[in-house]
Amino acid sequence: MNKNKLYWQIAACMVISAVAVYGGNIKNETFAKYYAEAKAQVMYQLNLEDVKEAGKQLSTALADAPAKVVSVVADVNSASKYGEPMDEKSDTDIKQVHAVAGGMVLSSGRDDKMGLYVKIKHEDAISVYGNLSDISVFESERVQRGEIIGSFDTNSGKEFYYDLQKNM
């Protein structure tokens, strides 16, 4: 067997393994497409030129990945350290309410003005969520950013109350 052909087949197998491991987790259509092509070439033992061409195409696709990853990381880093309290885009009537940042629940319960409410102490702020339809956290409980702390019924006739008091 030709040494070069063997090396190319080993390289193709390594690429297929890497794409299978990382591409499966990323759920990227481009990776899936090239993975399928490379797998077909190894399975049907196509010639060396076909394997080389698939390798070129795959390496080009993979070369674009770091730029995309950098852009996603930059977007995350430039985002506010406080998230959104509720997914406004959700088309359900009952919307989940999330902690905008990690912290400790100062209080939760019923208030005459805010109805069911949750108040969370963060590193340098306090967030308050009111007119909730239910509460899923308790006083002194630690919460993480994005954790569900309750829900809000958009059909309740009340307006969702949210306040972030910074520099506390």
Q: What is the pLDDT of residues 10-46, one digit of tens each?
A: 676 666 666 565 555 555 666 667 667 666 655 666 6
For the chain, what percent of residues have pLDDT higher than 90?
40
pLDDT for 126 beyond 80: yes
pLDDT of residue 90: 75
The band of 125, judged by pLDDT with boundaries at 50, 70 and 90, is very high
Confidence of residue 1 (pLDDT cuts 50, 70, 90): very low
Which has more pLDDT, 102 or 68?
102
Q: Does the predicted model carry a pTM greater than 0.85?
A: no
For the range 132-139, what are the long-range contacts, defined as Cβ-Cβ under 8 Å and sequence gap of 24 or more?
132/97, 133/94, 135/108, 135/109, 137/105, 137/108, 138/105, 138/108, 139/105, 139/106, 139/107, 139/108
Q: Which residues pair with 119 in a beta bridge?
A: 107, 128
Say how far apart CA 151 and CA 116 lie, in whole Å: 10
